[in-house]
């Protein structure tokens, strides 16, 4: 028997790990997602494909091609039998961390 679908999520939080001499920032953003029983599953799967799957994704194009912040940026949607996660990730130049975070929240599902 599958667990019931809930809409509860935790408030947004940010964890920063200081690495003073690093030339890159690793951004990993995530949140609790949906399962395949959700009526919005197909809409989110299509949206995820547009925003973040591969080199043609909006997140990749914005952070790499337009802004030159990174070599790649990706978004994933894990919506299987049980509730999964929605996550985005990228490794970017430290000097542009703030701009990359802004773009990541604007151009991904998280």
Task: Indicate the SS3 state at residue 20.
Answer: coil
What does pLDDT average to over the chain?
84
Place of tokens 């679908």: 5
Report whether pLDDT(1) > 70. no
Do you know the residue count of the chain?
110
pTM: 0.74
Task: Indicate the SS3 state at residue 70.
Answer: strand
Residue 101 binned pLDDT confidence (cut-offs 50, 70, 90): confident
Neighbours of 91 (CB within 10 A): 15
Best-predicted range by mean pLDDT (3-7, 63-67, 78-82, 102-106):
63-67
Percent of the chain with pLDDT over 90: 12
Closest by CA to 34, choosing from 15, 48, 13, 20, is 48
Place of tokens 């953003």: 29
């Amino acid at each position: 028997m599958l667990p019931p679908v809930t809409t509860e999520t935790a408030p947004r939080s940010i964890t920063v790990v200081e690495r003073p001499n690093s030339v890159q920032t690793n951004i990993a953003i995530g949140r609790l997602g949906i399962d395949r029983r959700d009526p919005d599953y197909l809409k989110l799967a299509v949206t995820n494909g547009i925003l973040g799957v591969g080199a043609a994704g909006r997140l990749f194009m914005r952070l790499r091609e337009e802004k030159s912040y990174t070599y790649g940026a990706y978004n994933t949607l894990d919506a299987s039998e049980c509730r999964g996660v929605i996550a985005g990730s990228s490794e970017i130049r430290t000097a542009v961390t703030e701009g990359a975070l802004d773009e990541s929240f604007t151009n991904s599902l998280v």
